[in-house]
A and B are shown apart, each in its own frame.
Chain A
């Protein structure tokens, strides 16, 4: 039994100042920030960089204290799957609590979170091209 994971889609780096952490990685580590956005609903500040097939997602709160020491940590992983409905069904059969797949910030994608039973790693699964074309904008 598996979930049909094809690769690690993205790795979330949580920071109290995601813009500063993304810039640090860009300046020092040669990582190009490809996209910045505000997450709809939560207003979290997000920045994205891609290292071949894996995206680094820098996530932080909407409000930043410019005087605070910037602190970041590795947070969770998002696995790309071929069929998110099948993956969620499989995980639920194994006893996991999964959210229902919903529209992701990535165009055309659906995402579902997985709780518990992951050795302390916050997990989610994502499927691209999961939405009808008229809903992909």
Chain B
């Protein structure tokens, strides 16, 4: 698996609008309106703020279930996930599984590496062509 860029860093927040206002006003970042929104299947809503070639993803849980809600319940707010861009997520998953790494099945261009294979770091692979 070739080294590619970090696509984004996921940050769990209690109130998405408040976090975006804080980072916008105090850090000078702007929301990328082409990404984000409510993801009913994951029970979250999110928004992205580009910083150089990577984004900060702010994620608010909307339900009490799922990994984001669990993180929020246990730790409150904080750095949740690292997302790494890959050229072809299917090939990346196949490659990692060949090395014995536990990876979930890709869905909509995204796959999650088991935290048992990363010493506990929440790592996502995301397909980004030509990035």
Contact = CB atoms under 8 A, between A and B. Distances in A.
Which DSSP category, helix, strand, loop or mixed, fits chain B's interface? Answer: mixed
A52 B121 CA distance: 20
A27 B58 contact: no
Contacts, number: 126
Contact of A15 (B96, B119, B122): B119
Contacts of B1: 29-30
Contact of B119 (A1, A27, A72): A72
Interface string A48-73: 00011110100000000000001111
Nearest to A77: B9
B5 A52 contact: yes
A38 interface: no
B54 A30 contact: no
B99 A5 contact: no
A96 B28 CA distance: 14
Interface residues of B, number: 44
Interface in B37-76: 51-54, 56, 58, 75-76
B126 interface: no
Interface in B1-51: 1-6, 9, 11-13, 19, 22-23, 25-29, 51
B119 A20 contact: yes
How large, as a class, is the contact surface on chain A?
35 or more
Nearest to B77: A120
A7 B122 contact: no
A76 B9 CA distance: 10
B54 A74 contact: no
A31 interface: yes
Contacts of A32: 3
Contact of A21 (B6, B28, B52, B119): B119
Given A5-B27, A94-B26, A119-B13, A31 B51 contact: no
Give me the 3 closest cross-chain CB pairs, A-B, nearest first: A2-B28, A7-B52, A120-B77
